[in-house]
């Protein structure tokens, strides 16, 4: 049976709001998530190429065909509503509750596990090209990490561009980090996706630069991070056709709205150019069919060269932040299992 076409792709007499990413909410797997091998060996010991199952390939092909007519159309503040709508469709995880909070003046939401946490927390930084995304829309997605890892996560509502351009988001997250540390929650991991992944690395690099007397993250995790606002990665060309929704023109417009004329090579804006020595162990997951592939791969390559325990998993045939398709793509569940186990293990080791 062919998987159903995503709801936003249905024909209508009015214009359909473009999706923020591939929407798999009505594309179902033909069975339970297939078991995938840890990853094929690559030319680099710090990189694993993860395979695509036939079941996932069918789901992706259906969603990709529906997404392509909207490719590159999400831009500016008009994209905020459809982006949040799509993120809110991520299924709610079981055994997780949510609480609003203010941490150091930064509002957001706690995702809390149903069982007693052993100690530690996650600071989660949402994606959205620095201009979209809210903590409330991300609660369900982050809740899946919390349910697996068994530790609470705070999703921060950092200020968004263009109303609040660079470095407002970085400043907010530094403030939020310091306030979380003051709460004495135990070791803290920092995680994020897309722009939030880049912000996670920018925050961590800034903390590492201040030296060991400053509290450091116990672990770093990023999904499809934006690390280079110069857009110099080869995948902007080699994956231009394969990527189902981002274009270089779209990305340049979003980067310009965030930077407002500031230097795109500033390490706090593009952590690919930061000094990475002293970073916590980090794991990165990226789709092989996305223009941001090389933002992830090059960041990990530089981290390894700087002596950091780092690894990138490149998922064959999958798009940007495919993990949001948890429950619909077997690879999404497996990637979240890996991410959560890494975070839980690092927090336990650092306790």
Among residues 320, 325, 328, 340, the one annotated as catalytic is 320
Q: How far apart are CA 104 and CA 61, in angstroms?
A: 44
Stated as kind and residue range, the H or E segment containing 299 is helix 293-305
- For every residue of 184-250, DSSP letters joined together read T-S-EEEEEETHHHHHHHHHHHHHHHT-TTS---SEEEEES----TT---THHHHTTTT-SS--HHH
Q: Return the sign of the alpha-carbon dihedral for residues 279, 209, 305, 127.
A: positive
Select from 341, 317, 329, 322 the least CA-distant residue to 32: 329
Select from 135, 143, 140 the least CA-distant residue to 109: 135
Catalytic site includes residue 320: yes
Catalytic site includes residue 194: yes
Among residues 70, 126, 144, 194, the one annotated as catalytic is 194
Q: How far apart are CA 182 and CA 308, in angstroms?
A: 26
Contact 244, 64 (CB under 8 A): yes
Catalytic site includes residue 12: no
Among residues 290, 325, 328, 340, the one annotated as catalytic is 290
Q: How far apart are CA 246 and CA 128, in angstroms?
A: 12
60: three-class secondary structure by DSSP: helix
The Cβ of residue 309 has, within 10 Å, a number of other Cβ atoms equal to 14
Q: Just list the catalytic residues.
A: 194, 290, 320
């Amino acid at each position: 049976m062919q998987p159903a076409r995503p709801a936003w792709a249905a024909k209508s007499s009015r214009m359909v709001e473009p999706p923020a990413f591939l929407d798999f909410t009505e594309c179902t797997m033909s069975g339970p998530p297939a078991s995938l091998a840890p990853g094929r060996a690559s030319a680099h010991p710090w990189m694993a190429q993860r395979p695509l199952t036939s079941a996932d390939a069918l789901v992706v092909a259906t969603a990709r065909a529906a997404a392509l007519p909207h490719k590159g159309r999400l831009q500016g503040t008009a994209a905020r509503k459809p982006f949040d709508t799509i993120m809110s469709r991520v299924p709610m995880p079981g055994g997780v509750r949510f609480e609003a909070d203010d941490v150091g003046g930064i509002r957001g939401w706690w995702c809390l596990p149903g069982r007693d946490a052993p100690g530690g927390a996650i600071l989660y930084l949402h994606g959205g090209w620095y201009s979209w995304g809210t903590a409330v829309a991300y609660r369900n997605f982050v809740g899946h990490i919390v349910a697996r890892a068994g530790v609470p996560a705070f999703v921060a509502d950092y200020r968004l561009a263009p109303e609040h351009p660079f470095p407002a988001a970085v400043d907010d997250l530094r403030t939020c980090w310091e306030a979380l540390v003051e709460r004495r929650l135990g070791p803290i991991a920092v995680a994020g996706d897309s722009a939030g992944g880049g912000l996670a690395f920018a925050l961590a690099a800034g903390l590492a630069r201040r030296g060991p007397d400053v509290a450091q993250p116990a672990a770093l995790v990023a999904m499809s991070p934006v690390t280079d606002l110069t857009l110099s990665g080869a995948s902007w060309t080699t994956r231009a056709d394969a990527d189902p929704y981002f274009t270089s023109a779209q990305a340049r417009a979003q980067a310009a709205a965030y930077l407002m004329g500031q230097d795109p090579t500033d390490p706090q804006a593009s952590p690919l150019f930061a000094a990475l020595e002293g970073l916590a162990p980090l794991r990165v997951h990226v789709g092989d069919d996305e223009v941001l592939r090389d933002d992830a791969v090059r960041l990990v390559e530089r981290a390894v060269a700087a002596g950091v325990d780092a690894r990138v998993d490149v998922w064959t045939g999958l798009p940007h932040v495919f993990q949001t398709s948890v429950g619909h793509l077997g690879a999404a569940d497996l990637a979240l299992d890996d991410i959560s186990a890494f975070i839980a293990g690092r927090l336990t080791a650092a306790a």
